[in-house]
Amino acid sequence: MKSAIGIIGLGVMGASLAQNFANKKIQVSAYNHHKDKVDALVKKAKSPHLIGHDILKKFVTSLEAPRKIILMVPAGDPVDETIKKLTPLLSKGDIIIDGGNSFFRDTLRRTEELNKKSIHFVGMGISGGEKGALEGPCIMPGTSKTVWKSLRPLLEKIAAKDFSKKPCVVNVGAPGAGHYVKMVHNGIEYALMQLMAESYDLLKGLYGISNDNMATVFESFNDTRLGSYLMEISITVCQKKEGTKGLLDLILDVSGNKGTGKWTTQEALDLGIALPIITESLFARYISSEKNLRIALGKKVERKKPEDLPPLTVFLEMLESALYGAFLLAYAEGFMMLDRANTAYKFDLDFREIARIWQGGCIIRAKMLKDITKALPRNSGILLMDKKYLKDVVSSMDSLKNIAITGVLTEKPVAAYSAALNSFYSMTSTHLPSNMIQGLRDLFGAHTYQRIDKKGTFHTNWL
């Protein structure tokens, strides 16, 4: 019997995905050029539906036509190298699916190159980490209707389920859109994580909350509208012990990144749109990496002792509300980016469906995605234009302001909270001081300006 799907690359994600297919009784061929990796997976899976291969040609012939092969190899050169080795073994109409975190422009290039050989190439974002890949990830492919038709039955079986038990997979749009949507997902992921980290910092630094009590706070938040995967795993991270110590206290305060957050910001700059919360969250990671400089400067600058803090119960109430508002704004920022990209790249995105599939399996899944799904029209990503959504954000504004002020007054960095606040103020300002910028530009560089009282472009001899 031939396999319905093949997977190349048996790292953590590839191996888990292969097992997921096998567990759903879908015959899967799993390939890795290291025989020991293949053997380890076959032994672990113990499934008649999973066949291991370490010879590429045999792997390819084990697949039913048209062949569907998911690449689970690191983004960048390994994807191109694998395609190069694989293509001569394929036939017209076969489908290569890149399930890694590839940059969408690489996906567009690869789609075009393989099109010339009549081989379909699909960029497909997969979210959910190892557990998600094994038990049900959120899957974001971007491809043609025909290719989607042949992938759909397979992917729907292994995907997570949304709040209405529908599979968390959809063809998000035209080629390239899958990896684009995953990139923005990761940008939002950066923002939500930074907001969680700033909340933790305020609670620990200002109120001396222990890790165990922090877990209790996050547990209570998780029972509210803030219920989310990131809140759940924050509880676990706070609770974890190593011996008698909390593991969290032993982890170096330097956060890494694999690049998707950086691409999100770079893309926003190219599109000419603002992504303040996501970008500040990325910068917060970069600043964290300046550990030696931070230590050197920290020794020279004395921090003021926090005073006049609100009682903890009051602060917790504000924090819950501020976090809710900031989360709403982070999602709004991500969807606005998707909206602008949709116009720029003609992705043909269905915004409501994207919010729906993010309800399950992915890292940014959260209760509030139910409301977000309802708030989004299919053809627009401007969440704040929804009356109820805007009202929810506005009602959290006082808390958001107070949390940001507390951070500023106690000299604690609250970059993501402040960015959320400022971007909301800017986006809801019917008048910004940009007339001043325009006046200055025209004075020193004759860059011209437009007027509110007449049409046209103007220049003034200012001096």
Indicate which residues carry an active-site annotation. 182, 189
The single residue among 123, 261, 325, 381 that binds ligand 6PG, judged by CB under 6 A, is 261
Q: Binding marks (x or -) toward ligand 6PG, 84..123, rule CB under 6 A?
A: -----------------x----------------------
Query: Tokens 């990796």 — which residue?
Result: 37
Please give the Cα distance from 343 to 165 (Å, whole number): 31
User: Is residue 413 a contact residue for ligand 6PG (CB under 6 A)?
Assistant: no
Binding range to ligand 6PG, per CB under 6 A, among 87-95, 127-135, 325-333, 438-446: 127-135
Q: Can you tell me which of 329, 363, 372, 384 binds ligand 6PG, judged by CB under 6 A?
A: 363
Query: Which of 74, 78, 129, 306 touches ligand 6PG (CB under 6 A)?
Result: 129
Contact 181, 140 (CB under 8 A): yes
Q: Is the CB of 14 or the CB of 325 nearer to ligand 6PG? A: 14
| Closest residue to ligand 6PG using C-beta atoms | 127
Whichever of 21 and 389 has its CB closer to ligand 6PG, that residue is: 21
Q: Looking at 144-152, 255-263, 380-388, 399-407, which segment touches ligand 6PG (CB under 6 A)?
A: 255-263
Cis peptide before 66 (omega within 30 of 0): yes
Residue 138 or 319 with smaller CB distance to ligand 6PG: 138
User: Residue 122: what residue type?
Assistant: V
Among 52, 128, 173, 360, binds ligand 6PG (CB under 6 A): 128
Place of tokens 């997570």: 160
251: left (phi over 0), alpha (psi -120 to 50) or beta: beta
Contact flag: residue 16 with ligand 6PG (CB under 6 A): no
Backbone angles phi, psi at 299, to 5 degrees: -70, -25
Q: Cα–Cα distance between 270 and 252 in angstroms, integer? A: 33
- Using CB under 6 A as the binding criterion, the count of chain residues that bind ligand 6PG stands at 13
Q: Which region, left, alpha or beta, applies to residue 240 given φ > 0 means left and ψ of -120 to 50 means alpha?
A: beta
Which of 357, 363, 369 is CA-nearest to residue 230? 363
Are the C-beta atoms of 180 and 345 separated by less than 8 Å? yes
Interaction mask 167-196, ligand 6PG, x per CB under 6 A:
-------------------x--x-------
Measuring CA to CA, which residue among 263, 427, 242 is closest to residue 333? Answer: 427
CB closer to ligand 6PG, 68 vs 185: 185
How does 379-418 read in b/e, with b if 16+ C-beta sit within 10 Å?
ebbbbbebeebbebbeebbebbbbbbebbeebebbbbbbb
Q: Does 260 bind ligand 6PG (CB under 6 A)?
A: yes
Q: Please state the closest distance from residue 255 (CB atom) to ligand 6PG, in A.
A: 8
Comparing CB distances to ligand 6PG, the nearer of 327 and 424 is 327
Residues that bind ligand 6PG (CB under 6 A): 101, 127-129, 186, 189, 256-258, 260-261, 362-363
